[in-house]
Structure 1
Amino acid sequence: MTPAARLAAAIEVFAAVDTARRPAADVLKDWGRDHRFAGSGDRAAIAGLVHDALRRRASAGFVLGGEDARAVLLGTLRLARGQDAETIAGLCDGSRFAPAPLTDDERARLEAASLEGAPAHIAGDYPEWLDAHLAAVFGDESAAEGAALAERAPLDLRVNTLKALPEKAAAALAHLEPKPGEWSPLALRVVLSADGKAPPLTSEPAYLKGQVEIQDEGSQLASILAAPPRGGQVLDLCAGGGGKTLALAALMDNAGQLYAYDDDMRRLAPIHDRVKRAGAHNVQVRTPRGKADVLEDLEGRMDLVLIDAPCTGTGTWRRNPDAKWRMRPGALAERMRDQTTVLDAAVRHVKPGGRLAYITCSLLDEENGTQIRRLLAANPDFRVIPPAEAVLALGARGPALAQAALVSDEGLLLTPRRTGTDGFFVAMLQRA
């Protein structure tokens, strides 16, 4: 397919995502099945265009003066891809399989490419109803924080120290030119190509041998700040597919006992193969069984309970750009109820003197600080470990991280703009 044909296909797919209100990945998969002449390179390029357009749909549409798929895609080429009006006009020449030629108004708007006068939710590319929620956290910087969330995410890897040291893993992946992470001593970052296509990491020998896992540096930091005690008793209460479980196991150097639980068996299913590949021998997976309490024997025994809480995922918009446009106010209220439930369940497992790590990939105070304040009001025997103290688990890089992140009385907020990671909130609490 020519670049012009790829652009026309991306406009078609974007329009279908809007019309069907379905995840972009599903629509792209259907498009590829119905257009088998498109090769893997074509499908990847089209997907990259669609996801870039979803990241920048508000600002791109504003620049072109419209909200339809064509306006958003053309605006995306200008804002996200840096193409000038002449280059875009070359793609829209009206030939077979190419988009129709630019109108005079489209060309003029592309040449100006101005966001002057755009409100914060347009400049920051997020739903208008979230404006007050983000302003409560970031004030006048909401647009800048949103714009950073509208950029592409890098490919971050966590070195599994049960199988390799960072130097060995980096050498095994030298052809991908990985760079050390800025904050996590276990992170390697692979810079993606201009079209955003990621290398087939899961086919790499280093991945197959369990030397590296795909994990955002912010998620790695959350696990490190939780400071799981070597030889201790640790419960990962919302383990899901096991990303943080594996990080905790490596940090514990396979000593002690690490229990992994999730109330959804489907989310928990991948953890078994991942644990085996990682060589994590201290992990015991607890699978839910109807109404039976499979964690009853752990009550009051845990040195650390880690909660990777269910949340709106506003901190992961770089990786899931269509999710932010599908999000509705009711989702926030529902996630808050889930968080209250899981926090109340976690408290009973923390032993005297033990700690609780509360983590979300959300930027909203309702899911972060508000939940911690509620927990403290209901459980006066808990206290927040001050963020300035909690970051020392990171070693020498800790104080610098505290300077870069947004620190509150309840915890630490990482964002793409401040720390170059996905958005994560981390709060550490200790029982008296």
Structure 2
Amino acid sequence: MTPAAHLSAAIEVLQLIGERRRPAQDVLKEWGVAHRFAGSKDRAQIASLVFDSLRKRASAAFVMGDESPRAILIGALREARGLSLASVASLFSGEGHAPAPLSEEERARYEGATLSNAPAHVQGDYPEWIASRLEAALGDQAAAEGAALAQRAPVDLRVNILKATRDEAQKKLAHLHPEPTLLSPLGLRIKPGADGRGPALSAEPAFVKGLVETQDEGSQLAALVCAAAPGEQILDLCAGGGGKTLALAAQTHNRGQIYAHDSDGRRLAPIFARLERAGARNVQVRAPRGGADVLADLEGRCDLVLIDAPCTGAGTWRRHPDAKWRLAAGAIALRLEEQSELLKEATRYVKTGGRIAYVTCSVLLEENENQIDAFLTAHPNFKALSAEETATRANLPELARFASRHGFGLRFSPFTAGTDGFFVSLMQRAV
């Protein structure tokens, strides 16, 4: 396929995404099955165009004065890729499988339209209906935070200290040019390629042997500030695929016990291979078994209960840009209910003096600080640790500067920290 044909295909996929309201990755996969002439490199180029268009959907449509898939793709070529008008016009030739030539209006808007007077949700590339929620959480930085969440994300790796130091892992991956992350002492960062793609890590010996795991720097920091210590009894209540479970196992140097649980046993499926690859030996997987209380023996025993809470994922939009356009207010209400129930459930397992770590990959106030406020009101025997105390306990005192201005926890984001959007708050049970 030619680069021009990639554009036509991307327009078609964007149309299908709008019609089906399904995850972009699913629609791309279905398109690939139906168009087998497109090779793997072609599909990668098309996916990159589609995701750039979704990242910049609002600003691209504003620039072009049109919300059609064609207009959004054209606008994204300017807003996401910075292509000149001449370059775009040469691709929109109408010849063969190329899109139809640019109209005079499209040319004029591409070259002359500006975002200087655009509303915040356009400058930040997020849905207009969620603007008030983002402004409540982020204040006058909402547009800047949104714009940062509309950029391509790097590939972040967490070095598994059970098997290697960061310097050792960096040398093993030198051909990928990783750089140490600025905030996490365990992280390596690989910049995305020109097409937005990262390296094929599954073929890298350092990954296969468990020296590194893919994990955003913000997620690494969320695990680090839990300050898990060797010998502790730890429950990961929403373990899913095990990313934070693995991080906690490394922090505890395989001493003590970590219990990995998830209410949906299917989400736990990847954890077994990951534990083996990482050399994590102090993890028990407690999958649900019908109506059995598989965590009954942990009641009042845990030093730490980690809640990696189900949330809107509003902090991960640079990795999943289609999610922000599929998000609905009803989904937020559902997540809030789940989060509240998990916080309540966690109290069952925390021993006197133990702590709950509440983590989301969301930037919304109601999923974060408001949940902590409601929890503390209902459970006066818990207190929230200050940002300074949280950061100091983790031996990362510089993280205190990411204290939430809303009173509880730490906030990390691409605009302020160069990470995905994460919130973490630690609460301790009174002695």
Question: In structure 2, what is the equivalent of residue 264 of structure 1?
Answer: 264
Question: In structure 1, what is the equivalent of residue 397 of structure 2?
Answer: 398
Question: In structure 2, what is the equivalent of residue 82 of structure 1?
Answer: 82
Asked if 2 retains the 8 angstrom alpha-carbon contact of 1:156 and 1:188, the reply is yes
Question: In structure 2, what is the equivalent of residue 114 of structure 1?
Answer: 114
For residues 400 and 92 of structure 2, the distance between their equivalents in structure 1, rounded to whole angstroms, comes to 48
For residues 22 and 380 of structure 1, the distance between their equivalents in structure 2, rounded to whole angstroms, comes to 42
Question: In structure 1, what is the equivalent of residue 386 of structure 2?
Answer: 386
TM-score, scaled to structure 1: 0.98
Question: In structure 2, what is the equivalent of residue 417 of structure 1?
Answer: 415
TM alignment of 1:11-410, pairs within 5 A: 11-395=11-395, 397-399=396-398, 401-404=399-402, 406-410=404-408
Structure 1 position 326, deviation (Å): 0.5
**Alignment partner of 1:98: what SS?**
coil
Segments of 5+ residues of structure 2 without an aligned counterpart are: none
For residues 62 and 89 of structure 1, the distance between their equivalents in structure 2, rounded to whole angstroms, comes to 19
Quick one: structure 1 residues 84 and 393, their matched pair in 2 at CA, closer, same or farther if it must change by over 3 Å?
farther
Segments of 5+ residues of structure 1 without an aligned counterpart are: none
Structure 1 position 418, deviation (Å): 0.4
Asked if 2 retains the 8 angstrom alpha-carbon contact of 1:414 and 1:425, the reply is yes
Asked if 2 retains the 8 angstrom alpha-carbon contact of 1:236 and 1:259, the reply is yes
Structure 1 position 198, deviation (Å): 1.4
Structure 1 position 405, deviation (Å): 5.8
For residues 69 and 112 of structure 1, the distance between their equivalents in structure 2, rounded to whole angstroms, comes to 20
Asked if 2 retains the 8 angstrom alpha-carbon contact of 1:79 and 1:113, the reply is no
Task: Encode CA deviations 1:45-80: one digit per residue, 9 max, x unaligned.
Answer: 110000010111011010000000000000000010
Aligned length: 430
Structure 1 position 404, deviation (Å): 4.8
**Alignment partner of 1:314: what SS?**
coil
Question: One-letter code of the match for 2:401?
Answer: Q
For residues 215 and 424 of structure 2, the distance between their equivalents in structure 1, rounded to whole angstroms, comes to 16
TM-score, scaled to structure 2: 0.98
Task: Encode CA deviations 1:227-273: one digit per residue, 9 max, x unaligned.
Answer: 11211111101000000000000000000011110000111111111
Structure 1 position 407, deviation (Å): 4.2
Structure 1 position 394, deviation (Å): 4.4
For residues 199 and 45 of structure 1, the distance between their equivalents in structure 2, rounded to whole angstroms, comes to 14
Asked if 2 retains the 8 angstrom alpha-carbon contact of 1:263 and 1:288, the reply is yes
**Alignment partner of 1:110: what SS?**
helix
For residues 59 and 303 of structure 1, the distance between their equivalents in structure 2, rounded to whole angstroms, comes to 47
For residues 140 and 181 of structure 1, the distance between their equivalents in structure 2, rounded to whole angstroms, comes to 27
**Alignment partner of 1:363: what SS?**
coil
Asked if 1 retains the 8 angstrom alpha-carbon contact of 2:55 and 2:151, the reply is yes
Asked if 1 retains the 8 angstrom alpha-carbon contact of 2:402 and 2:410, the reply is no
For residues 280 and 113 of structure 2, the distance between their equivalents in structure 1, rounded to whole angstroms, comes to 52
Structure 1 position 88, deviation (Å): 0.7
Task: Encode CA deviations 1:357-415: one digit per residue, 9 max, x unaligned.
Answer: 000001111110111111111111110110111112443x532x332564432111111
Question: One-letter code of the match for 2:27?
Answer: V
Task: Encode CA deviations 1:318-347: one digit per residue, 9 max, x unaligned.
Answer: 111111101100000000000011110001
For residues 80 and 188 of structure 2, the distance between their equivalents in structure 1, rounded to whole angstroms, comes to 25
**Alignment partner of 1:330: what SS?**
helix
